[in-house]
Amino acid sequence: MEQSSSSRNETNLHRFDSYCKKILKNEAIDCYREIQKHRQREVVLMSYYLDMSDTEIARHLNLRQSTIHYHRTSSLKTLKQYLEAKADEEM
């Protein structure tokens, strides 16, 4: 009986470990996405409100210019899709 109890405890510990790893992985993914959203917001604001070039923004955020370009264009594409969907809803 003692082995089955020990085996059951090991199984429960393994399940708990797996569950914790899954939760932590999801939390890390959520955190990464929030950082990306924040960075994209910064890029758009710097570009349009501060009239900074991609090169200036890249230097300020310590990122590559191609990354800044990607963040800016993908953010604007997403914004355009959102505004078009909102306009269609209002009609």
CB 54 within 8 Å of CB 65 = yes
**Is the model's pTM score more than 0.75?**
no
Q: Is 77 helix (H, G, I), strand (E, B) or coil?
A: helix
Tell me the per-residue pLDDT of 8-40, one tens digit each, with 9 for 90 and over: 888 888 888 888 888 888 888 888 788 888 888
51-89: pLDDT as tens digits:
999 999 999 999 999 999 999 999 989 888 988 888 888
Task: Evaluate whether 51 touches 58 at the Cβ level (below 8 Å).
Answer: no
